[in-house]
Structure 1
């Protein structure tokens, strides 16, 4: 029987209380178990972490890893790779640890090499997005633009939809951008994502049109020429 220890993490106290982020991660894990886990399987424990301090201070992750190490054939199961860490060096250390095996629910077919490349590219993307955001805010402030302020309900909803679309683009963007730069056609990129078990934002299969939209969103934020 395949055994799993599930680990869910959010980054703020408010998100932990509302359970919005935790609920989404639990849903991704449940989808993986229903569609990709070998049968029979057992989730022997679930650890939930609300992280408010440094990345290295995660007692729930340490407890989850300890349980995985004590249980023969057990795997740590996370919804997304960045729930383990946003740093490629940390991901690499997990891969080199002979006592710990982990599985990423949103990328069920990806091997360690693919996961590492994804981690490196995603880390670069986040750093670049942060720099662009700071630069854009500085320019806006210099022009006298009032930052922040209230939005009406429709405006907030539309902004949330756009933010979610951009977030998903940043998650899968590194893989898509790398394949596109290698000259792969859009449908071939979609086929590769499907074969790696990477779902779309709605949990479905990729098509060329969806790959095109992700590339367009990357261009919007200046991450793809």
Structure 2
């Protein structure tokens, strides 16, 4: 008996083909190779829209529904075609989390439902943070994604759908820390303003790293380094730097709440 079931999610508009000249045939062949020895294909859905980046993605809704009905993992043949489409990656990540479903990609075996949000956040922030997609950087990222996915898969079930209980409670620093005593009550000085802006730039990446299971400051710092995200000074991240950034973000949130209350 196969240990896992998969629902393949294919895209008719993707470039590439196999010997038959059909993009869909190439994707089906990739899916078959991936599923072999891992389980059984429980269904297939083809996204036929002219624009593969259409936010509606009716085929995706159908595929996710089929995954829930059959207890299957959503399997894409070519995730790489969407690696620079953060809107799609973020939407897919959010839907998988909402429905508590697993994800796999035939062309990116290191990817999982845990890594999609990080991929989206990085794609959105690369220009702002000055991150280059060098072969070395991408190799480190793939290794990091593979490690996160493997460690997650190895964990015993600890909640509904086998989701570790830490996932929903793994953001202690971002929303609960008190603002630093030195925060002024008027306009911020230029260095402080730049620090706040930098913190806001990396905030989505921090959030996704936390959501992927990083609980300690050291784990977050190691993840940022593995992903090639530079610190404010262009150096490596250390736990203390993560603490400072998360405190700045918390202070900013509290200041926003106070300002909103005053003008309500």
User: Normalising by structure 1, what TM-score?
Assistant: 0.46
Query: Greater Rg, structure 1 or structure 2?
Result: 2
User: Normalising by structure 2, what TM-score?
Assistant: 0.40
> Which structure is richer in relative contact order (CA contacts within 8 A, separation 6 or more)?
1
